[in-house]
């Protein structure tokens, strides 16, 4: 059974600070997705990384996939109140079907 | 391009009843996956449909069943509802070769009393 451990569970920071969210597993994933979810809504895809060691940047967000494709990180530079939300990592598992295994999520609150 | 849509938005049922949730996939996507998200948790994979066939199933009992139609839309049926079935049910669509790059709908909030 594949599991993804996400940390921290909750993060409260001031506007302008930097932060990193981590996603770790003992399993290898075919890909790693990061989503952001607002209360009562579905997750919105931010990025997909598929190659070990891959780094992708989306404005102030930097995503990295571990060399062994077992872990990932999301770094936000100069956080803004609009970044507030639930961040979810999800690993792609290509076996019978192509399911996503989700972490429990990180609740980010950015105070102005 | 039309995104993933789900209906209804909210639903209240009583224990033992049956429920059907509906999903329309994003334009051009032929694979639909269903997830259950309990409060404070990440989504859990229920099953996936591709070309109208079940193409993968998570650790959910047989009273959770589904269908996919020729236009790639899908239904999730849950029989004999239990209190623990209360959750946000999410539908996601994708398409080969990147079936793991899934785009989610807004979800259906099911409350079982």
In A, which residues are within 8 Å of B11 by CB distance?
none
User: Is any Cβ of chain B less than 8 angstroms from the Cβ of A35?
Assistant: yes
For residue A96, pLDDT over 80 is answered with no
Q: Which two tokens stand for residue B68?
A: 């996919």
At residue B99 the predicted structure's pLDDT band, cuts being 50, 70 and 90, is confident
DSSP class of A77: S
Task: Give the separation between CA A84 and CA B14, rounded to whole angstroms.
Answer: 35
Residues forming a β-bridge with A37: A86
Measured in whole angstroms, how far is the alpha carbon of residue A39 from the centre of its chain?
17
Q: Identify which of B56, B107, B109 has the shortest CB distance to residue A98.
A: B56
Residue of A nearest to B58 (CA): A99
Q: Given an 8 Å threshold on Cβ–Cβ distance, is B33 in contact with A100?
A: yes
Lowest mean pLDDT among A29-33, A93-97, B58-62: A93-97
Mean pLDDT of A3-26: 96
Is there a contact between B25 and B73 (Cβ–Cβ < 8 Å)? yes
A9 CA: distance to closest CA in chain B (Å): 10
Residues forming a β-bridge with A88: A35
Q: Kindly state the helix (H) or strand (E) to which residue A89 belongs, with its residue range.
A: strand A85-95
Percent of chain A with pLDDT over 90: 90
Query: Diameter of chain A by CA atoms?
Result: 46
pLDDT digits (tens, 9 = 90+) for B58-73: 999 999 999 999 999 9
Measured in whole angstroms, how far is the alpha carbon of residue B54 from the centre of its chain?
12
What pLDDT is recorded for position B96? 86
At residue B98 the predicted structure's pLDDT band, cuts being 50, 70 and 90, is confident
């Amino acid at each position: 059974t594949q599991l993804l451990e996400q940390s921290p569970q909750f993060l409260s920071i001031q506007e302008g600070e930097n932060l990193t969210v981590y996603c770790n597993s003992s399993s290898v994933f075919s890909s790693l997705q990061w989503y952001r979810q607002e209360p009562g809504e579905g997750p919105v895809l931010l990025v997909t990384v598929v190659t070990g060691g891959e780094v992708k940047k989306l404005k102030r967000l930097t995503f990295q996939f571990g060399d062994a494709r077992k872990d990932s990180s999301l770094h936000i530079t100069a956080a803004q109140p609009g970044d507030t939300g639930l961040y979810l990592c999800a690993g792609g598992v290509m076996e019978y079907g192509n399911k996503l295994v989700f972490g429990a999520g990180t609740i980010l609150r950015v105070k102005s | 391009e039309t995104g993933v849509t789900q209906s209804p938005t909210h639903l209240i049922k009583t224990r033992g009843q049956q429920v059907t949730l509906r999903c329309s996939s994003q334009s051009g996507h032929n694979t639909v996956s269903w997830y259950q998200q309990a409060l404070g948790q990440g989504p859990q994979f229920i099953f996936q449909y591709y070309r109208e066939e079940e193409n993968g199933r998570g650790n959910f009992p047989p009273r959770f069943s589904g269908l996919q139609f020729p236009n790639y839309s899908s239904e999730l049926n849950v029989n004999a509802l239990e209190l623990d079935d209360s959750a946000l049910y999410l539908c996601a669509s994708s398409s080969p070769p990147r079936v793991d790059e899934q785009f989610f709908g807004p979800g259906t909030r099911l409350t079982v009393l």
